[in-house]
Amino acid sequence: MSITAHQVVTLHYVLSDVLNDSSKQVLDDSQARNKPLEYLHGHDNIVPGLENALAGQAVGAELSVQLMPADAYGLRNEALIQEVSRGSFGNAELTPGSRFQTEGEAGPQIVTVLEVEGDRVTVDTNHPLAGRTLNYQVTILDVRDATRAELAKGHPLPPGTEHSKVEDRKVL
């Protein structure tokens, strides 16, 4: 079965980025964590460039995909670096490099602390991988049709989840 829209795909991947000297740094390895990725194809569950590269592939396929920033987590946007009040973080310990997940206009986003000076905190709301060229080594393990419940929710669900037990995310 080839990967098309509305199918659940299970795969292992190794994600690395290209450093300035053309060497690679491994950022994530699903096989090392013994946790394959499962996603619903055609529902924006993964970065667009990887989803496009996987379309039409079949179980057992192994591929290498290099994604430019625009096809992965986007280009860096310096306007997303801003100063906020220390009070925005409650009692959290803040040091440069600390990361927090917050609710942004388009859903959850990761905020990285760049600098702390008194009551002012400089943060970066770009995705941590924005602006980076990424390499994926992918092995496709399984492809199956999505259930009605998975289509209603827009992502894979645990086996046996009935569509009558989930709220449809579509707006009427």
- Cα–Cα distance measured from residue 138 to residue 12, given in angstroms and rounded to the nearest whole number: 6
Could you give the CA distance from residue 20 to residue 100 in angstroms, rounded to a whole number? 27
Task: Give residue 42's pLDDT band: very low, low, confident or very high (50, 70, 90).
Answer: very high
Query: In terms of pTM, does the model score above 0.85?
Result: no
Supply the CATH classification number for the domain 78-124.
2.40.10.330
Among the residue ranges 31-35, 103-107, 132-136, 145-149, the one predicted with the least confidence is: 103-107
Per CATH, the number for 2-73+130-153 is 3.10.50.40
Question: Could you give the CA distance from residue 122 to residue 110 in angstroms, rounded to a whole number?
Answer: 14
Q: Are strands 120-124 and 62-67 parallel, antiparallel or unpaired?
A: unpaired
Domain boundaries, the chain: 2-73+130-153, 78-124
CA torsion sign, 61 to 62 to 66 to 71?
positive
| Neighbour count for residue 79 (Cβ, 10 Å) | 8
Residue 32 pLDDT more than 70? yes
* 169 pLDDT above the threshold of 80: no
State the chain's mean pLDDT as an integer: 91
The token duo for 139 is 């092995």
Q: How far apart are CA 57 and CA 143, in angstroms?
A: 9
